[in-house]
Amino acid sequence: MGSGEPDSGIIIMETRQKRAFKILPVFLSGYSCRFGCVYCNASGTSGEIKVPNVRDLERKVRNFLSEHSNSPVEIALYGNDPSSLEPTIWQEILLNITSYCNEHPDAGIRVSVRPDTIVEMGSLANTGIRVVELGVPSMDPHVLKKICREHTPDTVEAAVKILKREKITTGIQTMLGLPEADALEAMTTAVSIIGLAPDFVRIHPTLVLKATALERMFVEREYTPWTLEQAVVVSADCVVQYRSAGIPVARCGFHIPEDLREDVLVAGPYHPAFGSLVNSEIRYRELRTKLLENPTIRVLTVPDEFISDYVGHGRSNIHRLRREFGHDLVITAEKKHPAKGCSAGC
Q: Can you state the percent helix, strand and coil of the chain, rounding each to 5?
A: 40, 20, 40
- Does 16 map to a domain? no
The dihedral of CA 178, 181, 182, 186: what is its sign?
A: negative
Is residue 291 in some structural domain? no
Q: pLDDT of the chain along its 346 residues, tens only? A: 333 444 444 444 444 444 567 888 887 766 667 778 899 876 444 444 455 567 788 888 889 988 988 888 999 988 778 877 777 888 888 888 888 888 888 888 999 999 999 999 888 888 889 999 999 999 999 999 999 998 999 999 999 999 999 999 999 999 999 999 999 999 999 999 999 999 999 999 999 999 999 999 999 999 999 999 999 999 999 999 999 999 999 999 988 889 889 999 999 999 999 999 999 999 999 999 999 999 899 999 999 999 999 999 999 999 999 999 999 999 999 876 544 333 333 2
Strand ranges, E, within 159-296: 169-176, 200-205, 208-209, 249-252, 265-267
CB neighbourhood size of 223 (10 A)? 22
Give me the pLDDT at residue 106, please.
Answer: 87
Q: Edge to edge, what strands does the sheet with 129-135 contain?
A: 22-27, 73-78, 107-113, 129-135, 169-176, 200-205, 249-252
Q: How many domains does the chain have?
A: 1
Q: Judge whether 205 lies within some domain.
A: yes
Query: CATH code at 163?
Result: 3.20.20.70
In a domain, 111, yes or no: yes
In a domain, 166, yes or no: yes
Considering the domain boundaries, does residue 12 fall inside one? no
- Residue 310: inside a domain, yes or no? no
How far is 118 from 82, CA to CA, in rounded Å? 10
105 is a domain residue: yes
| Domain boundaries, position 27 | 22-280
Tallying the residues shown for the chain, one arrives at 346
